Amino acid sequence: MIKVLVACGCGMGSSQLLKKNCSAVLKNLGVEHTIHHTSMDEAKSTAHEYNLIVVGENFVNHLKVKEGTIVVGLKNLMNKKELETKLKESGIV
């Protein structure tokens, strides 16, 4: 079971959709997970509680995470293929 956090600027619009896509992709890959969505400012302070953090590409540099937490940055928040490839590359699945 991995803990996943999805974040966007305000934590309301794009992260909500990304959460849905991310959950579907992880399910397809057979990864058990719990998933939440939130804003970037909250993600910064709670990042250490999660195994995987998925954000838009432009936010990747804003997150400072400890070892053990993987950050995946997406160019197209709506593209499940990109998400799947990047999740596989990250080694979390």
Partner 1 sequence: MNIITKIWDVMFNNILSQPAIFIGLIVVIGYILLKRKWYEIAAGFIKAVVGYQILQLGASSLKNTVDPLLKGIQLKWSVEAVVIDPNFGLTAANSALESIGVTTSFAMITLLIAFLWNILLVFFRKFTKVRTLFTTGHIMVKQSTVATWIIFFLIPELRNMGGIALIGILCGTYWSVFSNMTVEATQELTEGAGFAVGHQQMLGVWFAYRFGGLFKGKNKQEDKAEDQKLQLGGALKILDDYVVSTTLIMLLFFGVIMIILGPDMMHEVDDGNFGKLVFPVYIFQRCTSFAVSLVVLKTGIRMFVGEMVESFEGISGSVLKGSLPAVDCAATYSFGDPNAVTLGFLFGALGQVIAIAGLLIFKSPLMIIPGFVPLFYDNATIGLYANMKGGFKALVACCLGSGLLQVLGSAVAIVLFQMGPFGGYVGNLDWATLWPAMGAMIKFLSVPGAVICIIGMLIIPQLQYRKNKEEYFSLGMEE
Strand partners for 71: 53
What are the tokens at 21?
A: 């896509």
Q: Least distance in Å: CB of 7 to partner 1?
A: 11
The nearest distance, CB 15 to partner 1, in angstroms, is 9
Residues near partner 1 (CB under 8 A): 8-14, 16-17, 20, 37-41, 44, 56-59, 62, 74-79
Cα angle 51, 73, 28; round to 5: 65
Q: How far apart are CA 84 and CA 30, in angstroms?
A: 12
CB within 8 Å of 80: residues ≥ 6 apart: 21, 24, 25
Q: Please, which residue, 11 or 22, has the CB nearer to partner 1? A: 11
Q: Given the complex with partner 1, which of 67 and 85 has the nearer CB atom?
A: 85
Cβ closer to partner 1: 45 or 67? 45
